[in-house]
Structure 1
Amino acid sequence: MNSRNYTRVGCYLLLLIIPLLPLSSLAQSKSLFNGKDLSGWHADVPAMDNNPSVKNPFLVRDGLLVSMGEPNGHLITDASYQNYRLEVHYRFAGKPGNCGVLVHASTPRSLYKMFPKSIEVQMMHQNAGDFWCIVEDITVPDMEKRRGPKENWGITEGKERRVINLTDGSEKPLGGWNTMVIECLNDSIKVWVNNDLVNFGYNATARQGQIALQAEGAEVEFRKVMLTPISRLTE
């Protein structure tokens, strides 16, 4: 058994001791994207600050929410959320590349004058489910195996901010639609990609905030962004 599979099994065993949420704890789902426009969202794209000719990289096309990838920036919900499951259907429209869903987002441009303070759930092709710590932090099992030497850990520029996911091969072939589910409950975050558990973290330094989608170099289409509140907490 290779180290990635060993880590995956270990995390599954850990999850067995965590109480499951009853279905009654889930409130009614709501779509964060209406299929027509970007109501409920706002863009934060530094290149647009002083140049009115720069186009917003986020748009609606054929009923899909599209991140064109450039210029780099974020599409951020106007509202903040706490204790929820987020279901995102996405695919890379052309060449594979980079993108991400940011949860518990708050202070804008906190990292590299670009990224809001948050915890990123990576969507980069062949790396979906990685955590990236952006001026917030999270703990996972087998931390040093998945983040590197402890002395290099950090949440700001130049530090080891990436926490590698648990699986290989969970993504669909290029052009296929992927389903990512992110569950944020109290200080924990769980991530599934196409029904595979790909990451689990706890002791997150934030428990609430906005949700953001990235423009980070690659064109990505979103056909579903659905949020289901979790109404009963399990402290």
Structure 2
Amino acid sequence: MKTTYRGYFTALMAVILLFGCRNFQKEAEVEAQWVPLFNGKDLTGWDIKIRGFELGVNYRNTFRVENGLLKVSYDDYDTFNEEFGHLFYQHPFSSYRLRVEYRFVGDQVPDGPGWALRNNGLMLHSQSAQSMGVDQDFPISLEAQLLGGAPEGERSTMNLCTPGSNVVMQGELREAHCIDSRSKTYRGDGWVTAEVIVYRDSVIHHLVEGDTVLTYSHPVMGGGAISGYDSKVYIEGKPMTSGYIAIQAESHPTEFRKIELMELDPK
């Protein structure tokens, strides 16, 4: 039987369309697994803890929702006196993917520390807001550090900082407080998509715009770099297998338009 070139082309296009539809369906099914932690309207589901204040006190309206954006704002501050704040999601997680879209806007509040310029973070496997001391500065956690670049010089984002924790990298326990990722520098006020993939205390990946920029494993409590904590909560060497998620307020205005999570092992 004679087969024409047009027949081959038609069959090939049918195969391409079939696989394209299947891939699109698969991608849609994956996207449907993402659950928004921020509802775009208010702070329902989140707990506020700011250094020097009791749980739930939103000092100077630091955390707010405006025009569908979750904002870390310093509009009502005249100066910054180490009122480091954290906004905790109310439920703990163990194995998951967390994806956010963030940007830095405006100027740092006067007297904010130099290192906190265009600085925020995603706190992973964190202690609960309820367990923090009134004057505690940072929660025991793993911080996926969100950083914006200055006009000159390089500054990676999605670095790792370790308040009250240590991790293993390349088979060695790393006790340095902060470890740089290999991301490029993101300057200006553009939106950046950051993601973490967390498998309990087995392995954790940091991603920026879909590119894996840092990987580490076996987080444990240790290392210091926190103050004002309850000694009963901090247990040197304890594996960090689960915990809470929080975002920071460290003196530079930050906006989030998306915070969403996909559980990998909900058990």
**Using the alignment, how far apart are the partners of 1:53 and 1:199 within structure 2?**
33
- Residue in 2 that maps onto 1:42: 47
From the superposition, tell whether residues 53 and 183 of structure 1 become closer, same or farther in structure 2 (CA, over 3 Å).
closer
**Using the alignment, how far apart are the partners of 2:126 and 2:265 within structure 1?**
20
- Residue in 1 that maps onto 2:200: 186
Q: Which amino acid aligns with 1:67?
A: V
C-alpha displacement of 1:161: 1.2
**TM value normalised by structure 2:** 0.65
**Using the alignment, how far apart are the partners of 1:185 and 1:142 within structure 2?**
17
**Using the alignment, how far apart are the partners of 1:43 and 1:129 within structure 2?**
23
- Residue in 2 that maps onto 1:201: 216
- Residue in 2 that maps onto 1:106: 127
Runs of at least 5 residues in structure 2 that lack an aligned partner in the other structure: 1-26, 75-79, 108-116, 149-154, 221-239
- Residue in 1 that maps onto 2:248: 214
Bigger Cα Rg = 2
- Residue in 1 that maps onto 2:118: 97
**TM value normalised by structure 1:** 0.73
**Using the alignment, how far apart are the partners of 1:92 and 1:195 within structure 2?**
20
C-alpha displacement of 1:72: 1.9
- After superposition, give the CA deviation of every residue in 1:112-156 in whole Å (9 maximum; x if it has no partner): 821111100101223311111121221123869xx6xxxxx3xxx
C-alpha displacement of 1:48: 3.3
C-alpha displacement of 1:194: 1.4
Higher relative contact order (CA 8 A, sep 6+): 1
Whether 2:160 is the aligned partner of 1:131: answer yes
**Using the alignment, how far apart are the partners of 1:54 and 1:136 within structure 2?**
27
RMSD: 2.9
C-alpha displacement of 1:33: 0.2
SS at match of 1:116: coil
**Using the alignment, how far apart are the partners of 1:54 and 1:31 within structure 2?**
25
C-alpha displacement of 1:55: 1.4
State the identity %.
Answer: 29
Whether 2:138 is the aligned partner of 1:122: answer no
8 Å Cα contact 2:156/2:186 also seen in 1: no
C-alpha displacement of 1:186: 2.5
Whether 2:88 is the aligned partner of 1:87: answer no
SS at match of 1:55: helix
8 Å Cα contact 2:84/2:138 also seen in 1: no
From the superposition, tell whether residues 210 and 68 of structure 1 become closer, same or farther in structure 2 (CA, over 3 Å).
same
From the superposition, tell whether residues 195 and 46 of structure 1 become closer, same or farther in structure 2 (CA, over 3 Å).
same
Runs of at least 5 residues in structure 1 that lack an aligned partner in the other structure: 1-22, 148-152, 154-159
C-alpha displacement of 1:54: 3.6
C-alpha displacement of 1:25: 9.5
From the superposition, tell whether residues 141 and 37 of structure 1 become closer, same or farther in structure 2 (CA, over 3 Å).
same
